[in-house]
Structure 1
Amino acid sequence: MSLNPPPPTDDLQGATRASMVFERLREDILEGRLAPGEKLRIEALETRYEVGASPIREALNRLISVRLVEQFERRGFRVAALSRDDLLDLVRARRLLNEVVVRESLVHGDQAWEDELVLSYHRMWRCPMTLAEGQTNREWEVLHRRFHAALIAACPSKWLTDFHELLFDASDRYRRLNVRERDLAHTRTEHREIMEAAVSRDAPLAVQRLNDSIDTLLSHADSFAPLSPLNSVSSP
């Protein structure tokens, strides 16, 4: 007989609802549907995501831990602001981290890792970045994230890969604001060169190509003010 009985059904349902809200809130922030500096009112979010206050608060606290949401005035929440200094700091942190996680992944990656990396690139290559209406293609964004996750998947340090994911999300907010301006052919070339350097186990070149792609974020650095205005969350 198990000494650890399963948690009550209500607890499981609450955890599931909180995870759902976390993913939807996270995506709304990354996509800019919730603007930098925007107030996140619990009542409005309950209506927006059709859940109660408890999973909303749990999701918001999780988003604070990954720096996509900020707390202010004790109990208030808002979308984390974007700024030039923050972007510069993020780019520098990602460049430094890549020197470790990419090199470690290339050292420890086996044939299965290599096959998955190549496959993730081809799936992304076959998918359009934007839809006919000019909107962001959600499918491409998912495949893009999987490609970068596959690149470092063989790094044996969970701490480092988790930190990489945190920085990826934070900087992805800046990238997605300008995704419609990106050249699809150039983006494909960038990622192909990263993939080819990785499967060739050329760590210096793989890191350089990856860091070159990150540096493109800096072309819009001066467009970000020190702090974003604080607005109220719009009606759902």
Structure 2
Amino acid sequence: MTPTQRRGARPSVTADPQPPDLLEPRTLCERAYLQLRHDIVQGQIGPGERLRVEHLKDRYEVGAGTLREALALLVSDALVTVEGQRGYRVTTISLDDLRDLTDTRVRLETEALRLSIRYGDTQWEAQLRAAFDNLSAWEARGPSVDPAGWEQANRHFHEALIAAHRSPWSQYLLKLLYRHGERYRHVAIRLGTNQSTTRNVHEEHAAIFEAAVARQEARAALALEAHIRLTYDLLSSARIEL
């Protein structure tokens, strides 16, 4: 039984029904950037796929110059690569890349969680409880019902866990790593290696949450590490060619 269940609270879904990264862009470039990033992360534009400006400008309803600006931002996110005079291509994925990504995220995020637990105040704990309650509501419905809504709630939970670790560089790097990890989660879901028969994601989140609010740094860090590593372990054991 989770602390949420012991309190008798009924979690409610608060996430916006729109895709989480497509809310109120301020410029045409930002809109194109967010839409492209969303489509790449979701796998709607596949790894290694050529990004032809002349085609994409019509798809995203922007001019060629604006689209090139958006692609340059995606290059800085390492989601797109430039091939000299040959244009742009979606960054490829591989198990080796996922292993490196996973190891790096584990090092940064577990340390950020430890420090967040150590220095987090009552406001941090209240925000973490709210994020966990919202995520629990999405997981009760099942992530497959609205993958974009679940992903937003999942991201907010992970951000709430480390919110009291006030390092702008850590926050920036972890958001970037999370975004790349999201690409692999969608691959795992599509290939059936992330289903409830293989793992119970809610139990994983509950274990991290309960240890965090109990201020048990080591236990929370171990639960978080196991949670982050499981996507790699499942894809690796499935011997899938990415």
Superposition CA RMSD, Å: 1.8
The Cα of 1:143 is off from its aligned counterpart by: 0.8
Deviations 1:50-85 (A, max 9, x none): 111222112111111111111113351111100111
1:182 aligns with 2:192: no
Q: Does the CA contact (< 8 Å) of 2:33 and 2:74 recur in 1? A: yes
The Cα of 1:15 is off from its aligned counterpart by: 6.1
Q: SS of the residue aligned with 1:178?
A: helix
- Output the CA distance in 1 between the equivalents of 2:221 and 2:154: 17
TM-score normalised over the length of structure 1: 0.83
Deviations 1:199-235 (A, max 9, x none): 111111111111111111122134235xxxxxxxxxx
Match among 70, 76, 89 for residue 78 of structure 1: 89
The Cα of 1:29 is off from its aligned counterpart by: 0.8
The Cα of 1:98 is off from its aligned counterpart by: 2.1
Q: SS of the residue aligned with 2:200?
A: helix
1:224 aligns with 2:231: no
Alignment-derived partner of residue 123 in structure 2: 112
- Output the CA distance in 1 between the equivalents of 2:43 and 2:179: 13
Amino acid at match of 2:235: H
Is there any run of 5+ residues in structure 1 with no aligned partner, and where? 1-13, 226-236
Q: 1:17 to 1:190 in 2, by over 3 A?
A: same
Q: Does the CA contact (< 8 Å) of 1:104 and 1:156 recur in 2? A: no
1:22 aligns with 2:39: no
TM-score normalised over the length of structure 2: 0.81
Flag as ranges the 4+ runs of structure 1 deviating above 2 A: 179-182
Alignment-derived partner of residue 217 in structure 2: 203
Q: SS of the residue aligned with 1:78?
A: strand
Q: Does the CA contact (< 8 Å) of 2:110 and 2:224 recur in 1? A: no
- Output the CA distance in 2 between the equivalents of 1:98 and 1:89: 14
- Output the CA distance in 1 between the equivalents of 2:26 and 2:166: 29
- Output the CA distance in 2 between the equivalents of 1:155 and 1:170: 21
1:140 aligns with 2:154: no
**Number of equivalent positions:** 208
Amino acid at match of 2:45: L
- Output the CA distance in 2 between the equivalents of 1:224 and 1:17: 37
Match among 111, 118, 126 for residue 137 of structure 2: 126
- Output the CA distance in 2 between the equivalents of 1:108 and 1:17: 40
Q: Does the CA contact (< 8 Å) of 1:106 and 1:203 recur in 2? A: yes
Alignment-derived partner of residue 44 in structure 1: 55
The Cα of 1:27 is off from its aligned counterpart by: 0.9
Q: SS of the residue aligned with 1:54?
A: helix
- Output the CA distance in 2 between the equivalents of 1:105 and 1:147: 13
The Cα of 1:137 is off from its aligned counterpart by: 2.2
Amino acid at match of 1:183: S
Amino acid at match of 2:153: L
- Output the CA distance in 1 between the equivalents of 2:35 and 2:92: 19
Is there any run of 5+ residues in structure 2 with no aligned partner, and where? 1-24
- Output the CA distance in 1 between the equivalents of 2:174 and 2:226: 17
Alignment-derived partner of residue 213 in structure 1: 227
